[in-house]
Amino acid sequence: MNHIKKKLEQLWDLDHKFLNESEHFKKHQYIPFSEADITLFEEKHQIKLPATYRDFLLQVCNGGVGQGNGILPLNIKQEFPKLHLPWVDPLEYNDLFLFDPIRDNYDTYDDKINKARLKDNVKVDDLIQGTENGQLPIADDGCGIYYFLVVKGANKGEIWLNHLVTDGGFKWVPTPLENGSSIG
């Protein structure tokens, strides 16, 4: 976490140098949480946050500048009714619901969904309804596109991009962390 703190300090310095207003950057940072706050959030939502994200919230800050429109602060008072449910299989979702202009025309696309519903309507509905399960939004990229941390399910600890608003599906985001491709 020290390397992240150091990078933030460098950003503060750059902000001060170019904008001549160091408070501009600092006001977009949120103070870290206490262990009690995070534990309360986890118990309330029946989840365990990945260790690296917990450390970030405890030692660095709760949101602020970052990718796109910035890292979203974790609002510990907010209700996330589907957070404790496992997230869908993103590859299965993308395979079924993404429109491929080379492979699909609108008629074949509708046929594909209808055939899937005939085969297993419950599974199709679960995929549609489960897109918000087990995901915690962590960064806003604008226009309805956002990054989220998977906190429940097979992809727990991974960061994904929700690009559904543009029919782009879910995209896995590799993270440059020491322990591989997840943060938990």
In angstroms, the CA 8 to CA 109 distance is: 46
Structural domains of the chain, ranges and CATH numbers in brackets: 2-86+133-173 (3.40.1580.10), 90-129 (no CATH)
In the numeric block, which tokens belong to residue 102?
């080379």
In angstroms, the CA 81 to CA 21 distance is: 40
Q: What three-state secondary structure class fits 58?
A: helix
pLDDT in tens, 49-77: 999 899 989 988 888 766 677 788 888 88
In the numeric block, which tokens belong to residue 38?
């995070």
For residue 96, the model assigns a pLDDT of 84
For residue 23, the model assigns a pLDDT of 52
* 111 C-beta neighbours (distance < 10 Å), count: 12
For residue 12, the model assigns a pLDDT of 62
Let me know: does 139 contact 66? Beta carbons within 8 Å: yes
Strand extents, DSSP E, the chain: 135-142, 145-150, 159-162, 170-173
In angstroms, the CA 37 to CA 76 distance is: 7
Whether residue 16 is predicted with pLDDT greater than 60 in this model: the reply is: no
In the numeric block, which tokens belong to residue 25?
């950057």
